[in-house]
Structure 1
C-alpha cells in the first residue's frame, strides 16, 4: 500500500469517526420519509398513540434484535444519551471499516497477478 493511499484512508476514517461520534447527536428526531408514510391514514392522540384509522404503523412490531447491545442507535448500559449515541456510531464505523478492509485484503490476495 502506498504512503499516499494510507494517508487517504486514515483521513477518511478520521472524518467518518468524527461524523459518527459527534455529528450523529445532532440528527433530527422527527420522523423520516418512511415513518411519515407509515403514519398516513391513522389518527393519533396527544400521547402519540394510534386512536383510529388504517395505516402501516398499526402492524409495527419490535425488531428481532431490539434487545441487542447496539439497538436504538445507542449502547445498552450507558445512560448518557449523547455518549451512547456517539460511541455506537464510532463502534459502527470501526466494525464497518474492519469488515471492509478484511474483505478487500481477501479479494486482493486471491486476484491473479498480472505479468
Structure 2
C-alpha cells in the first residue's frame, strides 16, 4: 500500500510540476463565456486575488507555475494524510494490565 501512495504522490508532483507548463494560457469555457456576454466587465477581484498561489503561479510570476502546482500538491497531500491519520479507526490494544 505504501508503494501505491508513494507512486501516487510522485505522479501528482510530476503532473503539477512539469505538465502545467504545457497548459493553455487561453481562457477556459467559463472565462470565455463571461467575456463574450459582458459579465466579466462587471466582475470584481476575488479577495484572495493577490495571494501567493493566485492565478496558478507563485507570487504572480508565471515562470513558477510548476513550483506553485507542486507546492499545492504537497499541501493537499499533507493535509489529507494528517486528516486521515487523525480520523483513522484505532484497533483495541491487545495488551492488558492484568
TM-score relative to the length of structure 2: 0.83
Task: Tell me which of the two structures has the higher relative contact order, counting C-alpha pairs closer than 8 angstroms and 6 or more residues apart.
Answer: 2
- The offset of 1:112, in angstroms, is 6.0
Aligned-partner Cα distance in 2 for 1:31–1:63? 17
Q: Match of 1:93?
A: 73
The reply to whether residue 16 of structure 1 matches residue 9 of structure 2 is: no
Residue 38 (structure 1) aligned with residue 34 (structure 2)? yes
The 1-side partners of 2:69 and 2:90 are apart by 36
What is the number of equivalent residue pairs in this alignment?
92
CA RMSD of aligned residues (A): 1.8
Tell me what 2:2 maps to.
6
Structure with the bigger percentage of strand: 1
Q: Is the counterpart of residue 74 in structure 1 residue 57 in structure 2?
A: yes
Indicate the residue corresponding to 1:51 in structure 2: none
Unaligned runs of 5+ in 1: 42-54
TM-score by length of 1: 0.72
Give the structure with the higher percent helix. 2
Write the distance in 1 (CA, Å) between the matches of 2:17 and 2:91: 40
